[in-house]
Structure 1
Amino acid sequence: MDLIASIAGRVPSRNLHSLVLWQLGVAIVRGDFAEGAILPSDMELLAKFSVSRTVLREALKTLAAKGMIEARARIGTRVLPRARWNLFDADVLAWHFEAGPNVDFLRSVAEVRIGIELESAALAAERRSDEQAAQLVALAGAMGDATTAEEFARADLAFHRAVAEASNNPFMASISTLVEVALTAVFTISSPVSDKMKLAETAAAHGAIAEAIRVRDAAAARDTMRAVISDGFARSAERMGAK
């Protein structure tokens, strides 16, 4: 997960608070503590992590702020339903991939991307500058030159960032930033670098998005973006042994 965080430009902190937060977050996402379950007492958690009460309380407060737990007097700290969790939070997304996402989770990510990135691509086709159009063409080409999953993920992420920026809609760019950890993990899982033909096809598909944006064809930008997202999900699902 450190590699994914690094690709996304998010290097995790290594202080005691972040380590306790990470371990508890992953445990909750993994299901070690089911929805509705009461977490171990503070005394048990303090013994488990060997940290001060202040560090533990800060970690629990952070989890609460992310919608994952809720403290109740005389009851304890309860794990909230997943529907309450802030899935746009970078930590929560990272914990899902650390715990091992299932195909349904990856499908949900793809569906959110379709809901956002198709319109982002269409807006980019209408609003992009000449420099942004040229950048997209170059980034699509760089994807075809990738030799490792890390290089591919970096190039793929840079391309989709650039599409969001070319939309000239600050909300599109902001949403793109929110889900970068998820995108980076998905791009790493779906990387086609082990198959030169598939790598070339993937680069060409991104090139088609870039070309649609360059010629200001919003409909084609939507269609080509949908194809790229759908193909990426299919590769991820296949890698995880699902159809």
Structure 2
Amino acid sequence: MGLLETTITGRKRRSSHAHVVAELGSGIVSGSIAEGSILPGDADLTLRFGVSRTVLREAMKTLAAKRLVEPKAKVGTRVLGSESWNFFDADVLGWRCDAGLDQEFVEHLATIRMTLEPAAAAAAATQASSDDIAALYAIAARFDDLSHTPETIAKVDLDFHLAIARMSGNPFMRSASGLIEAALAISFKLSSPAASPETIEEIATNHLRIAHAIALRDPEKATVAMRHVIEAGKDRIAVHLTK
């Protein structure tokens, strides 16, 4: 279950491993577990969460892979600061969004999207097959529906941007899909374009412009059109945050 879906449905993963990872991970990212602190020992944590030592060890490995904690011999498991966290990880992004949004975080997210997604659109303009382009147009057509809810338009938006990442032919672009999901989850929560018929029409037009540029095999136009979409989304969120 991806970040956008969990934001929409409110459902969380329920396995023992996922529960431990989510409780500790969200505590670290929110700041309720202080950076630089040492986590309680295995005995305390297994008792707290009601899990086996095996489950706890696997959870700690997961948190270490996300660069939230680091085991230290004869010291314990130390909580790392935000400069170490893997923000390309969907869970870390989700916990950061849950911890509260601010203009700086939105700006950082938009900046990294500006680095990656216009390049993906430009690559798609040269790499996409005819079938890829037809599929992209089919997704773009789904924007044009004035009955959209925040949930339905967010899903179409995600499908569109992930399709371009795939069409780019660059596996690194596809691996950055968590950033796209985070941006759309924020939009869903704060400033969905489904708020009015005018914004639905605007987002439909803007995404169709990207599809047209890719179909024309024009990397420059695809880049400009993608930048415009990202800027428009950032501006909608910024208006909400400054209210």
Give the aligned residue type for 2:77.
T
Which residue pairs with 1:15 in the alignment? Answer: 15
Shift of 1:42: 3.3
- Structure 2 regions of 5+ residues with no counterpart? none
Which residue pairs with 2:227 in the alignment? Answer: 226
Answer whether contact 1:5 1:12 (CA < 8 A) is retained: no
Residue 55 (structure 1) aligned with residue 55 (structure 2): yes
- Aligned Cα RMSD in Å? 2.4
CA 1:133 to 1:82, structure 2 compared with 1: closer, same or farther past 3 Å?
Answer: same
Shift of 1:2: 7.6
Residue 87 (structure 1) aligned with residue 81 (structure 2): no
Shift of 1:3: 7.3
Which residue pairs with 1:34 in the alignment? Answer: 34
| Identical counterparts, % of pairs | 44
Answer whether contact 1:121 1:218 (CA < 8 A) is retained: yes
Following superposition, which runs of at least 4 residues in structure 1 exceed 4 angstroms of deviation? none
Instruction: Give the stretch that moved more between structures: 227-236 or 83-92.
Output: 83-92
Question: 1:21-170 to 2 correspondence within 5 Å?
Answer: 21-145=21-145, 147-170=148-171
Give the aligned residue type for 1:91.
D
Q: Secondary structure at the match of 1:84?
A: coil
Give the aligned residue type for 1:94.
G
Please list the CA deviations of residues 23-56 of structure 1 after superposition, one character each: whole Å capped at 9, or x if unmatched.
Answer: 1111111001122122233343333222233322
CA 1:169 to 1:71, structure 2 compared with 1: closer, same or farther past 3 Å?
Answer: closer
Alignment TM-score, normalising by the size of structure 1 = 0.87
Give the aligned residue type for 1:228.
V
Shift of 1:143: 1.6
Aligned equivalents of 1:15, 1:109: Cα separation in 2: 30
Which residue pairs with 1:185 in the alignment? Answer: 185
Answer whether contact 1:7 1:150 (CA < 8 A) is retained: no
Answer whether contact 1:152 1:187 (CA < 8 A) is retained: no
Which residue pairs with 1:201 in the alignment? Answer: 202
Aligned equivalents of 1:140, 1:208: Cα separation in 2: 9
- Structure 1 regions of 5+ residues with no counterpart? none
Alignment TM-score, normalising by the size of structure 2 = 0.87
